[in-house]
Amino acid sequence: MSLARFPVRAVLFDLDGTLLDTIHDLADAANLMLAEMGRAARPLEQIHSFVGKGIPNLVRRCMTEDAAAGEDEIEQAVVVFRRHYALVNGRSTRIYPGVVETLEAMRAMDLRLACVTNKAEAFTLPLLERMGLTPYFGAVVSGDTLPVKKPDPAVLHHACELLGVPSPLALMIGDSANDALAARGAGMPVLLVTYGYSEGMPVDTIECDGLLSVATGALDRIAAA
Ligand SMILES: O=C(O)COP(=O)(O)O
Ligand SMILES: [Mg+2]
């Protein structure tokens, strides 16, 4: 039995863990930062579980998980991380299978597309450019575009405003509870990919409208409105 299709005019995509596999660059920058701060390196899998609520949160967790750090030290660590991440951003990043086909198909359906990420804008825009994804998006809302980030629904409403599409006619595609909660708060359907970063939470325990093992699966869940 086929699942119901959502009538949509816009699709909002999460970035890290949904469009792009960025974990190696994030982990490299985190471990370069930890070394410079005189701390031990952390395993990739642990850093993986820290990604989702933006860079300040990632750095804080790297500095404080099973360790102690003062606020001044954390603030300094964020500056160090950003310096390293600017140099490695995109170096080992890959576009997930099916993403380009999905974006192409949605564009051919005349859907408006946006990228809504918790990654800071200074890293989001050059990364989209480097990966060749910039032309697909009519709007990009980053983690520091507004004073709030996902799971606050304001970032999704902002993306819809920029696209000129009412929020209930947009679909969110993400990989974590931050995406699902933001979509629910904004009154839009949400599909989650199973291959991304969900802060150590099994993705099938997150309330959503469906799971995607590959992005192209979203094409079976939408109808142009
Ligand atoms: O920067 C993060 O922590 C996560 O970014 P995302 O919202 O694109 O998954
Ligand atoms: Mg993500």
Q: Give the active site residue among 14, 21, 25, 179.
A: 14
| Same domain, yes or no: 14 and 28 | no
Give the mutation target among 117, 144, 150 for probing the ligand 1 site: most ligand atoms within 8 A of CB.
117
Give the residue numbers of the binding site for Mg(2+): 14, 16, 175
- C-alpha–C-alpha distance, residues 160 and 138, integer Å: 10
The predicted-structure confidence for 96-113, as pLDDT tens digits, reads as follows 999 999 999 999 999 999
pLDDT at residue number 47: 98
CB 85 within 8 A of CB 25: yes
Task: Supply the CATH number for residue 148's domain.
Answer: 3.40.50.1000
* 166 in any annotated domain: yes
CB 201 within 8 A of CB 177: yes
Query: What is the mean predicted confidence (pLDDT) over 204-217?
Result: 98
* 125 in any annotated domain: yes
* 1 in any annotated domain: no
Which pLDDT band holds residue 52 (cuts at 50, 70, 90)?
very high
CB 11 within 8 A of CB 173: yes
| Same domain, yes or no: 43 and 127 | no
Query: What is the mean predicted confidence (pLDDT) over 44-64?
Result: 98
Q: Which of 31, 65, 88 is the last residue of a domain?
A: 88
| Same domain, yes or no: 76 and 110 | no
DSSP 166-184: -GGGEEEEESSHHHHHHHH
Q: Which residues contact 175 (CB under 8 A, 6 or more apart)?
A: 14, 16, 17, 18, 192, 193, 195, 196, 197, 198, 203
Which of these, 50, 49, 10, lies nearest to 183 by C-alpha position?
Answer: 10
| Same domain, yes or no: 63 and 106 | no
- Say whether 14 is catalytic: yes
| Same domain, yes or no: 144 and 183 | yes
Q: How would you label 186-224 residue by residue, b for 16+ Cβ within 10 Å and e otherwise? A: bebbbbbbebbbbbeeebeebebbeebeebebbeebbee
- C-alpha–C-alpha distance, residues 99 and 101, integer Å: 5
User: Interface pTM (ipTM) of the complex?
Assistant: 0.98
pLDDT at residue number 4: 85
Task: Supply the CATH number for residue 84's domain.
Answer: 1.10.150
Rounded distance from Cα 179 to ligand 2 centre (Å): 7
Q: How many domains does the chain have?
A: 2
Q: Which of 88, 116, 143 is the last residue of a domain?
A: 88
Q: Which of 68, 88, 108 is the last residue of a domain?
A: 88
The predicted-structure confidence for 87-96, as pLDDT tens digits, reads as follows 999 999 999 9
| Same domain, yes or no: 11 and 117 | yes
- C-alpha–C-alpha distance, residues 105 and 98, integer Å: 11
Rounded distance from Cα 53 to ligand 1 centre (Å): 6
Range of the domain at 132: 6-19+96-224
The predicted-structure confidence for 151-162, as pLDDT tens digits, reads as follows 999 999 999 999
